[in-house]
Amino acid sequence: MAKATRSTNDAFARFKAYLREQKLKSTAQRDAIVEVFLDSAGHASVEELYGRVRKRHPGIGYATVYRTMKLLTECGVADERHFRNGEARYEMAEKSHHDHLICERCGKIVEFEERRIENLQEETARRLGFELRGHKMELYGICQDCARARRSSAAKN
């Protein structure tokens, strides 16, 4: 079950408000998808969301998940991103200023925030004549656990 934190409540409320504004309807399916998404701590793919929603709501179709995630993106609760293979993943939009550090071996995704980098991004854009609107940054590397695993397997050879 979703633990209702401050931010998930806000997000849920924002989604509901968006539906009202746009004269769209609340449905059990939409609620279920949004709950699962908010519960998923970000970086959920459509496939993962579909899988989890299906447990709670077996009849649901892929199309509804896609459509709902599009709504969530429109209302600013979710952000759509494309990682290495081009498949879409969604994350909470709230945490606006964070980026990703991804382990190339185990796929672990760590979020981080580094204001100094963002300042330099702003400065760089300005230098090139752009008005900065957003950014995307992913660092790829090997995490501690995997580095350790590699060392011990190397030791065997």
Partner DNA sequence: GTGGTTGCAAAGACTTTGCATTGTT
Partner DNA sequence: AACAATGCAAAGTCTTTGCAACCAC
What contacts 45, CB < 8 A, 6 or more positions away? 87, 88, 89, 90
- One of 4, 13, 17, 24 touching DNA (CB under 7 A): 24
Picking from 100, 98, 132, 95, the residue whose alpha carbon sits closest to that of residue 115 is 98
Q: Which does 13 bind (CB under 5 to 8 A by kind): a copy of itself, DNA, none?
A: none
Q: Which does 110 bind (CB under 5 to 8 A by kind): a copy of itself, DNA, none?
A: a copy of itself
Task: Print the binding letters for residues 86-125 with a copy of itself: x by CB under 8 A, - otherwise.
Answer: xxx------------x-xx-----x-x-x-xx--xx--xx
Handedness of CA 63, 64, 68, 71 (dihedral sign): positive
Nearer to DNA, 5 or 26 (CB): 26
Q: At what angle do helices 46-56 and 62-74 cross, to 10 degrees?
A: 110
Enumerate binding residues for DNA (CB under 7 A).
19, 23-30, 45-47, 57, 59-64, 66-68, 70, 86-88
